[in-house]
Amino acid sequence: MEALSWTGSLSFLDPILQYGLIALVLVILAWLVITSVVSEERAKSNADGTLARTTGARGLAGTALRLVFALVVAIVCLYLVGGIFLGTSAGIIGAISQQFLPVWTSLAILYAVSIAFKRRLGLYGKLFDSPIGMIGFGLVMFWVFTGIFGQMDLIVTHDPLVQVSGMKNKVPGTPLRGASAEDFQWYLLGGDNLARDVFSRMVDGAGVVVQIAPLATLFAFMVGITLGLPAGYYGGRLDTLLSFLANLILAFPVILLFYLLVTPEIVATGVPNYMAIILFIFPIVFVGVLLNSRYYTRPKFRTPLLIGVLGVAMWLYLSLVSTGGFLIETKTYGIWGLPTFMDLFDVPGGILVVFVSVVFVNSPTVFRIVRGLALDIKTRDYVAAAQTRGEGPWYIMLWEILPNARGPLIVDFCLRIGYTTILLGTLGFFGLGLPPESPDWGSTINEGRKLLSIYLHPALPPAFALLSLVLGLNLLADGLREESLKD
């Protein structure tokens, strides 16, 4: 079995891509120089009052940049499309493109449906009017689908935890020795220092990020919103107390706070479990207050709805915070929780600790943002009109103030997922929180950087994956901000 080259039968595209990248760099440099030296051209008016398009140096540089960029993107698309059809005969890129076929299909369907119905989808639909937002959304959803399909074993080529003899630190495209017909024949991105498949670990690491970062950020937002709205709306001593607690937490450096929360000595005391019991109750409080304030005038519908929703929520809550039948279990004592036969799932201890730490660290910042928005919006006329109608405080906070603060909160939510992703990578890099064998990107980068001067391939794929996901989240936030300002 021969080793795979990077492009295989598509190698005729290599010089075109090289010249295209060189041209792109030169055009970018020329565009930077021209935009810094040449003043912006003023639009001229035609006799009928319309504006005439000006074609000065800045305009020509911008047009050249767009054309060259489009050429490079087209060449990259040719690699991907050719790889999907040719597979391993198109080298490593072809094999990887073929492995990601479920992701490409899902992205195509998602974009087609979203663009077709974008006028009916509110702010999400307007996102597809922004090129920056579309690129960011594509990057984010690429890794979301990768994480989902990776957990379903539709993308990975090998078990990310299995060591294969003779594959230690092997370069990308190395064939497996003595592989059976059922096994995938190559390590597409090489092997790491423990002879595990780098490609499969990168894909499986996306699943770790997709599971933790968005959900932990959502929980942090529910905590921040539940506390920030009354602090901003009521003010007074409640605002002073909650703001003091938030500032007290924010006074600690984030990395140091994370380090303290996930160290084995703190975990052994049961402190993260106590924090989980307190923090995870906020989503239930938020949902309960939301439904009660919305259907307060319809008690016959509200009461059974609250009983059903809060009953299911409490069951999920106890399943989340209980492990092995205990809410808290230390070496010296234990507190009974949900019986094992009723426990829907057990969250591994390392993931629970990281999850709680992310929620705890992000909640004060969300609280301050929500509080500031509530202080501003509560002075608006429509809030005064709701007060005149006799609406309750929580109805006004949740159904008058919160919907009008959704733009900044959605943007911050996207950015905060990016921050959380970086924090997860940082924790994994320092070997904290998740188990050592976990394929999360931070742990993989840390293992690869030890031999970075000799072998580049174990550390670079997870590093580029982390970079592209965070970049996508930032571009998505920029696109959402751009479209929300048009409302």
| pLDDT score at 43 | 53
From the list 266, 113, 209, 140, the residue with the least C-alpha distance to 424 is 209
Tens digits of residue pLDDT in 304-349: 999 999 999 999 888 888 877 777 777 777 777 777 777 777 776 6
User: Does any domain span residue 103?
Assistant: no
Beta bridge partners of 187: 174
**444: in domain:** yes
pLDDT score, position 433: 63
pLDDT digits (tens, 9 = 90+) for 268-281: 788 888 888 899 99
pLDDT at 50: 59
Query: Is the residue at 52 inside a domain?
Result: no
Q: Check pLDDT > 90 for residue 102.
A: yes
Who's near 230: CB < 8 A, 6+ residues apart? 238, 393, 397
Task: List the structure tokens of 58.
Answer: 């800045």
pLDDT in tens, 135-181: 999 999 999 999 999 988 899 999 898 888 888 889 999 988 777 76
Give the number of domains in the chain: 1
d(CA 141, CA 21): 26
The predicted structure's pLDDT at residue 273:
82
Long-range contacts of 326-331 (CB under 8 A, 24+ apart): 327/273, 327/277, 328/270, 328/273, 328/274, 328/277, 329/270, 329/273, 330/268, 330/269, 330/270, 331/268
In a domain, 383, yes or no: yes
Letter for the amino acid at 182? E
At residue 487, does pLDDT exceed 70?
A: no
On average, the pLDDT of the chain sits at: 86
Give 197's DSSP letter. Answer: B
Q: Tell me whether residue 115 is in a domain.
A: no
Please write the tens of the pLDDT for every residue from 407-459.
889 889 988 998 888 888 887 887 776 776 788 888 888 888 878 878 888 88
111-143: pLDDT as tens digits:
999 999 888 888 788 888 888 889 999 999 999
Q: Which pLDDT score is estimated for 351?
A: 78
pLDDT > 60? residue 51: no
DSSP state of 399: I
Collapsing DSSP to helix, strand or coil, 298 comes out as coil
Spell out the long-range contacts of 24-31 with Cβ–Cβ below 8 A and sequence spacing 24 or more: 24/68, 24/69, 24/72, 27/61, 27/64, 27/65, 27/68, 28/65, 30/61, 30/64, 31/61, 31/62, 31/64, 31/65
**What is the rounded CA–CA span in Å between residue 217 and residue 359?**
7
Strand 326-329, strand 334-336: pairing = antiparallel
Domain range for 223 is 205-484
Is residue 89 in some structural domain?
A: no
Which amino acid is located at 298 in the chain? R
Would 345 be classed as within a structural domain? yes
Give the model's pLDDT for residue 93.
93
Mean pLDDT, range 182-191, rounded to an integer: 87
pLDDT at site 166:
85
In a domain, 155, yes or no: no
